[in-house]
Chain A
Amino acid sequence: MHEHDNILLTEAVERYISGEMTPDERLHFENLRKADSEIDQMVVTHTLFMQRMNRYNEWQKFHASLNEIHTDLATQGTIDSPARKGKARLAYLYNRYKRVASIAASIAGLTALLVSAILWSVTPKSHNAQIETLSKKFSSLENKSRKQAEEINSLKNSHTPDPKTPEITYSSRGTSFMIDSKGLLVTNAHVIQNATNVAVASNTGTEYFAEVVYTDPVRDIALLKITDKDFKPLPPVPYGFSRKMADLAEPVFTMGYPREDEEIAYTQGYLSAKTGFNGDTLSCQIQISANRGNSGSPILNNEGDVIGILNGRQKDQEGVAFFIRSKNLYNILNEVKGKGKTDTTIQSVKLNTKSSIISLNRTQQAKKIQDYVFMVKVS
């Protein structure tokens, strides 16, 4: 079904559930339900979901008023609850002022962005400025301050029940993919530079906290490890990692998160030169439509082998992009392991050399790969 139809249908279902339909509409809709079991199924699950969501909202509001009442009555001495002290008071104050603190933090972040924007605008443009790195910066400041205004407005009746997960506003993003299904990912170093918080999100939208365990700005490679306790290891990675140099004109494809709606996107192209920008031998040139947010995406060949990591495009030429060859990843892992004293996840990682999706067609390959490609969010 077309997306537009789905939107209309969802809207209709919601009006049906909340009883906003006119009797005529209702009758028509009920006939539709009877005639189409798919629609009927959708009404059933959506009703269940909306119920859960509404109750969630009601409980949240109720919890908020209970807490407010408790504090009031305890201060008045109407109930015998002891006034908060020590840790409990701290937690209370933390909850109370958390919003303010996060707004203050994002204002500080804005200032930092502004300062760096000013610095950037006066820095003489070097030769390298012709290459654009593809990490996506959320630049609409106006938008941001509007949101803040909204946050300030809702400050009074806001209620955030889980003090363990303070909200983080991520300001920039890119793509990463698994090199080890236990939670080790690779991305570009420029994606996570200056990061204080890093999170990755799967193609289903589940977000996990992660940390940077290695970064090499020269080769533009960084390794991330998922630290979130909610994360469960995936089955072994389906793609292999190929040391080989790809041939000219060899078809390649990639998956990543260049889109504003954070939906995973597939795109394909071909190898157009065996060296990167200005003869850089670490990387290769491909003809592919890469966009901001694609930084850190895997570049795969027909066999389902990762031949490199997408890291930039040439500003003045449409469709020209560059990737860092997988060979560099092998080198980095060897160097890191040789040094010892590193993260145990890196010590134990062994890159998969045999693609398990070699005999699949492209659609099936993409389906297998998408679970291993994560969005990187940085703040």
Chain B
Amino acid sequence: MKETVLEQEILLLKGLARNDKKSTEEIYKQHYNLIQALVVNNNGTADDARDIFQEAMVVLFEKARSGTFELNCQIKTYLYSVAKRLWLKKLQQQSRFTEEWNDAGSLVRVDDDLEAHEQKDQDYNLMHHSIQHLGEPCKSLLEAFYFKKKSMQEIAEAFGYTNSENAKTQKYKCLMRLKKIFFSQYKK
């Protein structure tokens, strides 16, 4: 019996790593209420719960993607441990304290993962900020090429460049500018 639960969880994590909607939905369905209870019982709102759960899901997503998820614990325990740490931190930041910690779940050590997550989160925000400050048409151009994986020919047509060589030159310049903005903050 235990074997099958484990196998199921491995499948779910593989799906999660691919951003497969079914797997993500399954994990969401199974564990959301537990995390919401944790947050709501400890001085939080339903909106807080949603934020905390989704951030914990991002941590799990990264863990699954890196392929280092060792199944020495269940997804449930992992999510619960991460969410608890995230929520405690948020409470501290807002100087809101919960007098008595209402704790039900079992815990595993997640320090390293959270530290890595914090760095990644900062990088994410910096990238977001850099892209927002890039201006048009650079923003759309880079998004079309790197995120939507459009070809240079398609981009040239969509943005009105005479040929894909021109679009390529423009893309290069935009990329250099984005790198300049990103790295001017990154080193600090």
User: Which A residues are within 8 Å of any B CB, using their own CB?
Assistant: 3, 6-7, 10, 45-46, 49, 52-63, 65-70, 72-73, 78-82, 88, 140, 142-143, 146-147, 150, 154, 161-162, 165, 169-170, 199, 201, 204-207, 230, 261-263, 377
Contact = CB atoms under 8 A, between A and B. Distances in A.
A66 B54 contact: yes
B28 interface: yes
B28 A79 contact: yes
A161 B128 contact: yes
Interface string B83-119: 0000000000000000000000000000000000000
A66 B184 contact: no
Interface residues of B, number: 54
A52 B180 CA distance: 14
Contacts of B151: none
B24 A70 contact: no
A65 B135 contact: no
B58 A62 contact: yes
B132 A7 contact: no
Contacts of B128: 56, 161-162
Nearest to A199: B135
B61 A62 contact: yes
B181 A205 contact: yes
Contact of A140 (B50, B127, B160, B175): B160
Contact of B29 (A3, A73, A146, A165): A73
A174 to B, nearest CB: 15
Contacts of A68: 21
Given A79-B33, A147-B158, 14 more contacts: A3-B172, A49-B179, A56-B127, A62-B57, A69-B25, A79-B28, A79-B36, A80-B33, A81-B49, A140-B160, A150-B158, A169-B136, A207-B135, A377-B135
A10 B176 CA distance: 10
B159 A147 contact: yes
Nearest to A143: B160
